[in-house]
A and B are shown apart, each in its own frame.
Chain A
């Protein structure tokens, strides 16, 4: 098609909103996989009544410890980023006053970063 070569001259693609949308598509699929695996492992294989402090402690300190810690933090980060980006969209949809819009998005960012920092610290500093 004749006009398609022209496109390379322009910077139109990319940008924060584009990647935020693309991340939602990817993280949706990733979350489905890791959350379903988490559910099957914890609730079906180990079973709810057997989930104790020791089960989690042994998993994190065992030979596969680094893998499980990374897995759990990945689940935390993917779920929080996906969820908080959704909340950011809700703020953009419903809060139209510029000041309140920025305030709520800043509040979301602070909560998001705090929860990730606390979660990651807990997972990686755990010694048993």
Chain B
């Protein structure tokens, strides 16, 4: 397997000493070109500079911990291969959330927007003795939005969210969509009412940045459009 040398520019910030974030450059040698950018960052952290701070967990694109801006695009460091971004790789924290240190941002504003759409199953009917059955067609209706891993790549790529942090953001709308279009759920009207707000779906300006950013390839702007359509026509049957 081919090995390459890469230059990595990282936007660093240490709240104890820095007033402003600054770029720091590292040279990483003899790394496989099929390695993940996450591997490169770990090589730097483990062998060159232990002060580099980043989040990661599963390293396989499932947990959503390591979203960051790689060469200007919101990507998961574990799903981005060196060969696709070399020879110079720039890495920045995701935008629009407060930076705690280096690549770690405060996710709390993101999760509070997520909670605002009541992302849990709502159905006051007593549960049947076995599972609540659903036809394959009804399940397929919201399949796309079940893929979300809450990595925040979409919300932090959104110019509306950058401009106004009160905007609930694409990820929260995707999560709401997952329940709104689920035939077993009865919180539909409640969630639509929450999103029918100038800082709800109506702050979406259809920039499509979220679609480009999503590592799960969810058709996010389409999902947001469907929520807008439901609000406009008063039905989810389309």
Contact = CB atoms under 8 A, between A and B. Distances in A.
A96 B162 CA distance: 12
B205 A6 contact: no
Given A6-B186, A96-B164, A13 B203 contact: no
A4 B232 contact: no
A89 interface: yes
Interface in A58-109: 89, 92-94, 96
Interface residues on B, range: 20 to 34
B128 interface: no
A1 B233 CA distance: 17
Nearest to B204: A21
A22 B164 CA distance: 22
B164 A94 contact: yes
Contacts of B18: none
Given A4-B236, A10-B193, A21 B202 contact: yes
A58 to B, nearest CB: 43
Given A1-B138, A7-B188, A7-B235, A13 B202 contact: no
B183 A2 contact: yes
Contact of A6 (B163, B164, B188, B237): B188
Interface of B: 123, 138, 160, 163-164, 166, 183-186, 188-190, 192-193, 196-198, 202-203, 205, 228, 230-237
Interface of A: 1-4, 6-7, 9-10, 12-15, 17-18, 20-22, 89, 92-94, 96
Given A3-B184, A92-B203, 11 more contacts: A1-B237, A2-B184, A6-B188, A7-B235, A12-B231, A14-B231, A18-B228, A18-B232, A21-B232, A92-B164, A93-B164
